Amino acid sequence: MTEIIEEGIVNEGGLNFVEQEIKDDLAAGKNGGRLSTRFPPEPNGYLHIGHAKAFIMDFGAAEKFGGTCNLRFDDTNPQKEDMEYVNAIMRDIHWLGYDWGDRLYYASDYFPQLFDLAVRMIKEGKAYVDEQTSEQIAAQKGTPTLPGTNSPFRDRPIEENLDLFMRMNKGEFDEGSMVLRAKIDMANSNMHFRDPIMYRIIKTPHWRTGTTWKVYPMYDFAHGQSDYFEGVTHSICTLEFVPHRPLYEYFVKELADESYCPRQIEFNRLNLTYTVMSKRKLLQLVKENLVNGWDDPRMPTLCGLRRRGYTPSAIKDFVNRIGYTKYEALNHIELLEHAVREDLNKTATRISAVVNPVKLVITNYPENQEETFYMDNNPENLEEGKHPMPFTRELWIERDDFMENPPKKFFRLSPDKEVRLKGAYIIKCTGIKKDENGEIVEIYAEYDPETRSGLPGSDRKVKGTLHWVSVPHAKTAEVRDYDRLFAVENPSAEEGDFRDLLNPDSLKVRPNVMIEPWATENAKPEDHFQFTRLGYYTVDPDSTSEKLVFNKTIGLKDTWAKEQKKANM
């Protein structure tokens, strides 16, 4: 789990190993040359970026080889599932640009067929009702090297099993009082073959089937058969299902003949540094208000990443880079951030925003004068044009861009030093004013009219360039700055309570950020901007007509690219 791999492994044809296996099956004419995949989320939480890795494979392979991909909700446990999750899951898959067309299915659609199969297996002596507690059943399981012990109920007469199973489903017995088990082999070296549970009693009504059923199939008894009923040819899932595969095939064989049988292929899960991916833990963070909901921009959920400002193309690019392999790994979150930065660099509109403002007064600039500079919307793509930015005598600049007693290599503003105001003039600092606490409240400077950007001879070089916003024109915005949600690199590998590993400083709200007026005119939630010199920011749905709220998506500094450069030197 600690091995860190960064670039996915693909063959000469650019295919990962799953795609290659699909290609081989198609070439061999298996299933009549048909390709059908499925994405099978359980509607018990929101999708996260790990799920995205899974469905990018499922939908992506179907797209690549002219097949189809079903969306199947694996709704076999009414105690944990909810309609809210179903809708959110569909929205998130659409967001990444995939669609299941008319192939929307629910495992609950197959409850009648699954029940019939169970009954048939009982009649054939392949299943029995066990009345032991789950603890007793667990205690008899044995270990990988020690065979298990048969249940005292294993050889119950068929008629009795049938009668009990029917009555289990009528609701005559309490939850946990009995289960239906497959009668396979308590000594099998694969623990999953040691009489696995097929059905359990659950009395909570199901959100789709109501109170029709009181018994619900276990994952292993539902998944392969659901694949079979839908005509799925390639059932792609994560590596933890490798030991389940023989059982998957065992149950499918109860239905399939030679002509068609779905095939399970497994790849490595996505694990990210500084992140937990377990749905149970994510649910806990939400329920205990340790984050502000499933779509909190610090969450690895797709709705969280969307709100944070991550884009579908960046997520797909990242998944493509890490690739699909046969061994577990932990991927650096910096690579994801790198992909986001690369994408936003191409598309985000540049604006000027001062997050920690201090006032700069240009004393030789006339009091009521105002002029307009035109700023590139995106220097990476000049076709995107320019937008106007007003310049006046009083400007907001970053407090951090001034130092009264600077060290040698400080190239921003300090007494008697010159800098360029981006896209405008060169100024020279002439003085400061402090309040009674010694805090700087105003900085004074003089500008040189000869240095106006665009004028002939205006290209005199100075070392620093500062961004700015005109004081009378500035709009106030709120900015939410984020840091990693967890303070340790691999929270899932640590002992103890994962909540103790949360970074206490993962959210910092700046209520009084000054932004240039043009940016506020048409900005709507999910719009991306680059705040010049600072980073990428995305408009949050909490914005109002009075005040925009921005989420900091990612800073400009690319630690990933830097590390790669070092590694290649």
Give residues in contact with ligand ATP (CB under 6 A): 40-42, 44, 50-51, 53-54, 237-238, 269-270, 277, 279
Burial pattern 21-40, b for ≥16 Cβ within 10 A else e, equals bbbebbeeebbeeebbbbbb
Whole-number Å distance between alpha carbons of 483 and 477: 20
In DSSP notation, 189-222 reads: SSGGGSS-EEEEE--SPBTTTBTS-SEEE-HHHH
Q: Which is nearer to ligand ATP, 207 or 411 (CB)?
A: 207
**Backbone torsions φ then ψ of 441, nearest 5 degrees:** -110, -25
Q: What HEC string does 429-455 produce?
A: EEEEEECCCCCEEEEEEEEEHHHCCCC
Q: Which two tokens stand for residue 348?
A: 């985000």
SS3 sequence, 61-117?
HHHHCCCEEEEEECCCCCCCCCHHHHHHHHHHHHHCCCCCCCCEEEHHHHHHHHHHH
User: For residue 468, what are its two tokens?
Assistant: 């700015």
CB 359 within 8 A of CB 471: yes
- Give the C-alpha separation, 54 to 42, whole Å: 13
**Closest CB 177 distance from ligand ATP, rounded Å:** 25
Supply the residues annotated as catalytic.
Answer: 42, 269, 279
Between CA 357 and CA 274 the distance in angstroms is: 31
The one-character DSSP state at 28 is T
Distances in Å between the alpha carbon of 191 and those of 97, 223, 243? 40, 18, 8
Alpha carbon distances (Å) from 498 to 1, 218, 277, 489, 492:
17, 28, 12, 12, 7
Residue 260 burial class via C-beta count within 10 angstroms: exposed 0-12, middle 13-18, buried 19 and up: middle
User: Which backbone phi and psi does 67 adopt, to 5 degrees?
Assistant: -105, -165
With 0-12 / 13-18 / 19 or more C-beta atoms within 10 angstroms meaning exposed / middle / buried, residue 207 is middle
Residues in the chain: 569
Q: Give the N- to C-terminal CA distance of the chain in Å, as an integer.
A: 28
Q: Which two tokens stand for residue 452?
A: 């106006």
3-state helix, strand, coil in the chain (%, to 5): 35, 25, 45
Calculate the alpha carbon distances from 104 to 39, 50, 64, 225 in Å. Answer: 10, 21, 20, 16
Least Cα distance to 141 among 177, 180, 189 occurs for 189
